[in-house]
């Protein structure tokens, strides 16, 4: 597919072509995901759950993220590599710059941060200095203790209005991508339509420009399966074919369906 860039994803949004994001934490799976045709790979702080065995992403450090980003980036030939800035590593613009630089030097082509309007100054600063940003709204796992658990966000008029306002502000600050997690599908579709930048959904219905899943979830390896997850190993004879099935299902619009979405 050739090397994917930010421009590639913007052009796909403009043409109405869906793209795919899958998490990876090592070179082997990064190679398989790229070979299956996923345009983007997320080195997610979800590694705290699926690799390290924690019950949240909060214990993950910048050292962990840099190491796994190095592993993934060595094998991600064509896919765009996005790396999560972990908990409490971007509380000020200055701290954000130091830690984002570390992930970029480890091989990331973009960094991802959870949060709304309060990130605007940091996003602007990073972009001005050559670091692309993916923002993350809705259910932000690093704030699980504030939310009181993994709960759907944006179900009230006030909550929906807040998420939309944050999305617009984040785009204006210079973000290149936006992840929407666990919000009502109508809200996600509305935000995707109103924004110029591509929107990646997870538990946000079919109306976004792309879909992302944690690799372990789509392979049926997780102890707890969220409503929005489909086990793509069912009916497949290999990990490679399951990953390809997910890519194909997103691109064809077969995933996600109503049963994977929230109202």
Cα–Cα distance, 152 to 158 (Å, whole number): 14
| Residue in 209, 141, 213 with CA at minimum distance from that of residue 178 | 209
Looking at 39, 169, 181, 259, which residue is catalytic?
181
Distance, in Å, from the CA atom of 254 to the CA atom of 263, rounded to the nearest integer, reads 19
Active site residue 128: no
**H/E run at residue 15:** helix 6-15
Looking at the chain, which runs of residues are DSSP E strands? 19-23, 40-43, 80-84, 110-114, 133-138, 177-181, 199-202, 210-213
Distances 205 to 26, 46, 184 between C-alpha atoms, Å: 28, 21, 7
Give the residue among 83, 78, 77 at the shortest CA–CA distance from 25. Answer: 83
Active site residues per annotation: 181
């Amino acid at each position: 597919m050739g090397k994917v860039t930010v421009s590639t994803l913007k052009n796909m949004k403009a043409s109405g072509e869906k793209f795919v994001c899958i998490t990876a934490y090592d070179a082997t799976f990064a190679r398989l995901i790229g070979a299956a045709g996923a345009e983007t790979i997320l080195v997610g702080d979800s590694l705290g759950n699926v690799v390290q065995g924690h019950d949240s992403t909060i214990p993950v450090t910048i050292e962990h993220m840099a190491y796994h980003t190095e592993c993934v980036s060595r094998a991600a030939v064509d896919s765009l590599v996005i790396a999560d800035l972990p908990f409490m590593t971007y509380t000020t613009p200055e701290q954000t710059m130091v830690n984002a630089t570390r992930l970029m030097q480890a091989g990331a082509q973009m960094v991802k941060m959870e949060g709304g309007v309060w990130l605007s100054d940091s996003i602007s600063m990073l972009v001005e200095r050559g670091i692309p940003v993916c923002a993350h709204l809705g259910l932000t796992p690093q704030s699980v203790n504030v939310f009181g658990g993994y709960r759907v966000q944006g179900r009230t008029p006030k909550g929906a209005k807040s998420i939309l306002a944050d999305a617009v502000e984040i785009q204006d600050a210079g973000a290149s991508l936006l992840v929407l997690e666990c919000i009502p599908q109508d809200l996600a579709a509305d935000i995707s339509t109103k924004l110029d930048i591509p929107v990646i959904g997870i538990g946000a219905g079919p109306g976004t420009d792309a879909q992302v899943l944690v690799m372990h979830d789509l392979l049926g390896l997780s102890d707890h399966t969220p409503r929005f997850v489909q086990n793509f190993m069912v009916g497949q004879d290999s990990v490679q074919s399951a990953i390809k099935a997910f890519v194909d299902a997103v691109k064809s619009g077969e995933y996600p369906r109503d049963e994977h979405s929230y109202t």
